[in-house]
């Protein structure tokens, strides 16, 4: 791919790994849970949720978290593209970084809409649901895949 002399690739910024599990993904989850700059509260929520996971599954919470995240990651999504005056939804394979981003976003969003009492309980419940391939976040992934599948006829517009 030829680049224009003024264009350059901007390196990605990654958060420093979290304190307890030394994992960048847990730190990203904490960042997604953070509201109004209250990161210490978000950290407590995430760690409590992971403790609940350990209690309920009896496995390492980090492994359960990664398995749930893996189940949530979408492989295909659609992007809008204008071709000759009309817009088409064109299916694309999702890059790995975006897969993780979407999975975390859907996980936290679905957890916020749940009915459990504390945010930690909601987050843990949503992760357990994702582990079993059910729940709101999984529905979101299925919806994305369905959209991509139904618009497969327009894949030839991809370039």
Q: CA nearest 77: which of 152, 23, 138?
A: 152
Tell me the domains of the chain and their CATH numbers: 24-157 (1.10.455.10)
Question: Residues 6 or more apart from 80 whose CB is under 8 A from it?
Answer: 87, 88, 89, 90
| 25-52 confidence digits (pLDDT tens) | 999 999 999 999 999 999 999 999 999 9
Q: What is the DSSP string of 108-129?
A: HHHHHTS-SSSHHHHHHHHHHH
Integer-rounded Cα Rg, in Å, for the chain is: 18
| 94-118 confidence digits (pLDDT tens) | 999 999 999 999 999 999 999 999 9
Q: How far is CA 8 from CA 18, 138, 156, in A?
A: 30, 36, 29
- pTM for this model (two decimals): 0.90
Q: CA nearest 109: which of 45, 40, 36, 29?
A: 29
Matching residue, tokens 């990654």: 14
């Amino acid at each position: 791919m030829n680049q224009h002399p003024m264009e350059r690739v901007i390196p990605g910024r990654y958060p420093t790994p979290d304190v307890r599990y030394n994992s960048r993904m847990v730190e990203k989850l904490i960042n997604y849970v953070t509201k109004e700059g209250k990161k210490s509260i978000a950290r407590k929520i995430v760690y409590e949720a992971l403790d609940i996971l350990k209690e309920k599954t009896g496995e390492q919470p980090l492994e359960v978290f990664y398995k749930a995240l893996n189940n949530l990651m979408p492989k295909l999504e659609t992007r809008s593209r204008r071709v000759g005056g009309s817009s088409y939804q064109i299916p694309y394979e999702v890059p790995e970084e975006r897969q993780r981003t979407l999975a975390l976003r859907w996980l936290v969003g679905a957890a916020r809409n749940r009915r459990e009492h504390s945010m930690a309980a909601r987050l843990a419940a949503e992760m357990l649901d994702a582990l079993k391939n059910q729940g709101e976040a999984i529905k979101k992934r299925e919806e994305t895949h369905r959209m991509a599948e139904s618009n497969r006829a327009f894949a030839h517009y991809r370039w």
